[in-house]
Amino acid sequence: MISFAAKNLSAERMRLAISVGGVALAVMLIVLLRGLFVAYENKVSGYFERIPAQVWVMQQGTADFFHSYSIVPDSERDRIAGIPGVAAVYPYLARQVGFMLHDQQSLLYLVGFDPSAPVTGPARMVSGSAQPSEDGIIVDEVFARKHGVHLGEELVVNGTTLHVTGISNGGDMVMFQYGYVSIPTARRVLGMPDVDNALLVQLAPEADARDVGTRIAAFSPRLLVRDTAAVVAVNQRVITDSFLPVITVLLVIGFAVGVAVIGLTIYSAVLEKRREYGVIKALGARADQLVVVIATQAMLAAIIGYAVGIGLAMAARAAAARWVPAFVSQIVPADLLWIAGATAAMAVLASAIPLLRIARIDPAEVFRS
């Protein structure tokens, strides 16, 4: 019956193409949306995960770095450095800045870093120098592509002219990208001569993060101490809280579209071949054999649609990387597995209505000419 189902499905190329095309588009939508969510999540957390500090010291009451503003006096740095178990303390200076570029409003998340100890610096350089001069800035490649920025170009930020001396990657936060300047330049541009946004603490080899954190917290009630995992989680929540419900709704819509397309094409095929199914019933087909015929057709459409959909998603992702750099999508094997399962579920659900229709076909009808 599987071979009959396959022949039945392939006999009508246009219907097969519509069915496969619908599933493929649904799968592509699901893959890209899920990939978008994963990419957002990873991009937001990636920067914080890369920073080689175990403990973050912020102003009490700070939620995440995107929605709240933390101010810590830079003078606290020396005092914290003296706490047992602390190996080094680095300033974290980072703030979103808006400026005009090519007659358009642009955003950068400007970060100060020490080129000689680049704890908060760029992940990887794409071109140019990783050591920005006093008026130099390194911008993320997504920002550079989006705004057509090249090495040597001038950016005027908060009245300070900065020259693009390097282009890096790994600093795309989706809504904005990172730009890196030296700490003195950051203090000047951001107007923060003696305060930092946070202090990054590297622990001595034998030190326990919780003990050190407790000591720092006891040091001043105005300070909030978190380990890196907590910082990552809090900043990831920015994405999960704002995007996950939207993405989930879109994923459900994609799934429903897939079910509807397979279901409608198989259902219309059943309506059109109602007499043939009546013949099969009259000849002596059991109900389970008809289930196999319909489910196989739906499953074949789903499998081919899944393969085509993954291919389309990969192609769309590659095209987006070239033409729409702000669109990011990260496809991970585990997601492909559950999407395959979801596609199979589409086929199973889509089989239900055609099967109900077949159950109502009276085999005695085939005697009518």
Partner 1 sequence: MTVLQLDHVTKTFGQGRTAVRAVDDISLSVETGELIVIMGPSGSGKTTLLQLIGALLSPTRGEIRIHDRPLAGLGHTELARLRLHEIGFVFQSFNLLGALNAVDNVALPAALAGVSGRARRNRATTLLDRLGMAHRGAHRPEALSGGEKQRVAIARALINNPPLVLADEPTANLDSASGYQVLHLLQQVAVDEHKTIVMVTHDHRITPVADRLLWLADGQLRDRESDFATAADPVCGMEIIIERAAGQREIGGTTLYFCSQVCLDKFDANPDRYLPATRDRHGR
CB closer to partner 1, 17 vs 319: 17
CB closer to partner 1, 260 vs 279: 279
CB closer to partner 1, 77 vs 281: 281
Q: How far is the CB of 365 from partner 1 (least distance, A)?
A: 9
Q: How far is the CB of 35 from partner 1 (least distance, A)?
A: 38
3-state secondary structure the chain: CHHHHHHHHHHCHHHHHHHHHHHHHHHHHHHHHHHHHHHHHHHHHHHHHHCCCCEEEEECCCCCCCCCCCCEECCHHHHHHCCCCEEEEEEEEEEEEEEEECCEEEEEEEEEEECCECCCCCCEEEEECCCCCCCEEEEEHHHHHHHCCCCCCEEEECCEEEEEEEEEECCECCCCEEEEEEHHHHHHHHCCCCEECEEEEEECCCCCHHHHHHHHHHHCCCEEEEEHHHHHHHHHHHHHHHHHHHHHHHHHHHHHHHHHHHHHHHHHHHHHCHHHHHHHHHHCCCHHHHHHHHHHHHHHHHHHHHHHHHHHHHHHHHHHHHHCCCCCCCCCHHHHHHHHHHHHHHHHHHHHHHHHHHHCCCHHHHHCC
CB closer to partner 1, 1 vs 259: 1
Binding site for partner 1 (CB under 8 A): 1, 3-4, 7-8, 10-12, 273, 275-276, 279-287, 289, 362-364, 366-369
CB closer to partner 1, 11 vs 71: 11
CB closer to partner 1, 173 vs 366: 366
Q: How far is the CB of 358 from partner 1 (least distance, A)?
A: 13
Q: How far is the CB of 324 from partner 1 (least distance, A)?
A: 43
Q: How far is the CB of 301 from partner 1 (least distance, A)?
A: 15
Q: How far is the CB of 360 from partner 1 (least distance, A)?
A: 13
